[in-house]
Amino acid sequence: MSADPLAVHQTPIPGLLLVSLPLHGDERGWFKENWERTKMTAAGVPDFGPVQQNISYNEQVGTTRGIHAEPWDKWISVATGRVFGAWVDLRDGPSFGTVFTAEIGPSRAVFVPRGVGNAYQTLEPGTAYSYLVNDHWSASAEYVFLNLADETAAIAWPIPLSRAVMSGKDRAHPRLRDVIPVAPRKVLVIGANGQLGIALRRVLGDRRVEYASHEDLDLGADLSSARPWRDYDTVVNAAAFTAVDAAESPHGRATAWRVNAEGAAALARVAADHALTLVHVSTDYVFDGTFDGEYPEDHALTPLGVYGQTKAAGDIAVAAAPRHYIVRTSWVIGAGRNFLRTMHDLAARGASPSVVDDQRGRLTFADDLARAIAHLLESHAPYGVYNVTGAGEPMTWAEVARVVFAAAGQDPDRVAPVSTEEYSASAASPTAPRPRNSVLALDRIRGVGFDPPDHRESLAAYLSAELPRWRAAAG
C-alpha cells in the first residue's frame, strides 16, 4: 500500500502531468483523496475547475478506448484495476505528435490538457476509472481523433490491438498525417471599435484573436450562450459606457449600470464558469480625487458620480472571477475624436478656450495601454489589479491644452485656466463630478516588467504624428 507523498511529474507532452497519489490502507482496504483542490494546486496541478465526473467500467481485459482529443481538460484516475494509458499531443505547435505512455492504477492520476489525445487499455478485469472534466459534455463539442494503430505514434500496446475490445469508430480514426491539429484557444476582445479596441487590434493582431463590437456582443444581453466559451481562454473587456456627463441623466444612468456594472458581472460569471482569464479596464473615476499622493491599487473605492460608481461596481464583480486582471487607467487618448484633437481644432479656428486647471493626472495613450495588457497576458503576471497610465510628472488639462496650442503654432496663453467649479457653472448642460487627483501609482505594473513611457514624451510624439493629418483634414 502506497503512502508516498503527493507528487507531480512532468512528461514530454507540455502540460500533461503524471501525479502520484498517496493510498492510505489497512485490513479493510484503502482510501485516497482523488481530487483535493488545495493540495493538488499547491503541488503544481492546474486549478482547472472540474464541473462533471464520468466513470468508465470495463469488464474485460484489453478494452481499449481512444485516441480522443477533447475540448476540455481532464483528470484521470483509477478506482479499481489497472489501465495502460497512451497520450499523443494533437495540438497545433512544436510538440504535435509527441507520445507518452504509462500504466496507471489507484496510486496514480493524470492531468490531460485540452487538445491532448488520450486512450486507455484495461489490464485487469473489472477495471473502473473516472475522469473529471471542466466543461459539460455537449453534442456540439468538437473532438480530434487519431487511429490507435497509427504507425507514426507507434504505441506499444500491452495487448495487441488485434485482440483488443474496441469500437468500430475507434478503429476507423485517421492517421497522424491526416489529423488537423487542435487550434489554441482564442482571445476575445469586447468593445473592438473603441479607442482601446482599435489599439488592441494593432498590438494583438488577428491570430487567435476575435474582435466583437457592441453590435456583435451586447453586454446587457444573456451572455451564458452568447459565444462558444470553451473556444476561448481570455476575454478582454474594453467596452464601457464612458459618457461621464450623460451618465447623470435618467437614461444614461440606466445604461451605465447595465453596461459597466451588470455587463461586467455577467462576464465575471462566464469567466468563472469556463475557467477564462478576464481582463477588465477600469478608471481613475472609481476614486474621489481627495487622496494626497498617487493612488495605489488597493486604495478604497470612493467614486463621486454615476460613471465612477458603475465602474467601481464592475471592478468588485470582476474581482470575484478567479483569473482576472483589472487594469485601472486614466485620461485615455486614442483613435477618433479626443481632447487633443478638440484643442487642435480650437487653436486652428483662433478660439481661446477655458480649460480646467485643478484636475491633475497623466495621459494614457491607447497603444501603450494595449501593450501593457498584452504584457500581462504574455508574462502570466499574477492576477489582480494593475494601474496603467503614462509615467512622469502629472499635468492639468489646461497644461495639456497649452502643449497642443504650442505644437499647432498658436499662442498657448490663449488657453484660459479655470477651476472645475467655474467650468461647470459656464457649461451649457450639467456636468458630472470629476476627481481632482487622478494620479495612479505605477509600482506594481513596473514590478512585473512593464515600464510605462513618460506621458509628456508620448504626447509630443503623438502630436508630431497626428498634426499633419489634422491640418490636412482642416483644409
13 with 73, same domain: the answer is: yes
d(CA 407, CA 399): 12
Strand 17-20 vs strand 108-112: parallel, antiparallel, or unpaired?
antiparallel
Query: Quick check: is 311 in a domain?
Result: yes
Q: Is residue 302 part of a domain?
A: yes
Asked if residue 155 belongs to a domain, the reply is yes
Catalytic residue among 129, 131, 423, 462: 131
Same domain, 194 and 48: no
Q: Are residues 257 and 366 in the same domain?
A: yes
- The pLDDT value recorded for residue 25 is 86
Let me know the angle formed at the C-alpha of 369 by 364 and 372, rounded to the nearest 5 degrees: 135
Query: Across the strands, what pairs with 280?
Result: 237, 326
Q: What is the pLDDT of residues 243-293, one digit of tens each?
A: 999 999 999 999 999 999 999 999 999 999 888 999 999 999 999 999 999
Q: Considering 138, 160, 178, which residue would you say is the last residue of a domain? A: 178
Distance spanning both ends of the chain, measured CA to CA: 85
Scan for cell 484503502, then name that residue.
30
Identify the active-site residue in 9, 24, 57, 68: 68
Q: pLDDT digit string (tens) for 26-54?
A: 888 889 999 999 999 999 999 888 989 99
Pair 380, 460 in one domain: yes
Is there a domain that residue 2 lies in?
no
For residue 120, indicate whether it is catalytic. Answer: no
CATH number of the domain within which 147 lies = 2.60.120.10
Which triple of cell numbers denotes residue 330?
Answer: 486614466
Place of cell 471592478: 315
Query: Is the same domain home to 119 and 221?
Result: no
**How far, in Å, CA of 143 to CA of 225, rounded?**
20
- pTM, to two decimals: 0.86
Q: What is the mean pLDDT of each run of 10 residues along the chain (475 residues)?
A: 80 97 89 92 91 93 95 94 97 96 96 96 95 85 93 96 94 96 94 95 93 88 85 95 94 95 96 93 98 97 97 98 97 92 93 95 98 97 97 97 96 95 84 95 98 97 92 76
Note the pLDDT of residue 305: 95
Of 134, 151, 178, the residue at which a domain comes to its end is 178
Q: Considering the domain boundaries, does residue 287 fall inside one?
A: yes
Q: Which of 64, 106, 115, 109 is nearest to 88 (CA)?
A: 115
**Residue 137 within any structural domain of the chain:** yes
Residue 57 falls in the annotated catalytic set: no
pLDDT at 1: 52
Nearest to 326 by CA among 382, 270, 367, 364: 382
Q: What per-residue string of b and e applies to 217-250 under the rule 16 or more CB within 10 Å gives b?
A: bbbeeebeeebebbebbbbbbbbbbbebbbbbbe
Domain region containing 31: 7-178
User: Do 149 and 281 lie in a common domain?
Assistant: no
Q: What is the pLDDT of residue 331?
A: 97
- Does 99 lie in the same domain as 195? no
Q: What is the pLDDT of residue 375?
A: 98
**Domain closes at, from 178, 210, 226:** 178
Report the relative pairing of strands 416-418 and 364-365 from DSSP bridges.
Answer: unpaired
Angstrom distance (rounded) from CA 84 to CA 82: 7
Let me know: does 246 contact 252? Beta carbons within 8 Å: yes
113 is a domain residue = yes
Closest by Cα among 188, 231, 195, 185 to 212 = 188
Q: What is the pLDDT of residue 426?
A: 83
Domain count of the fold of the chain: 2
User: Residue 91 domain-assigned?
Assistant: yes
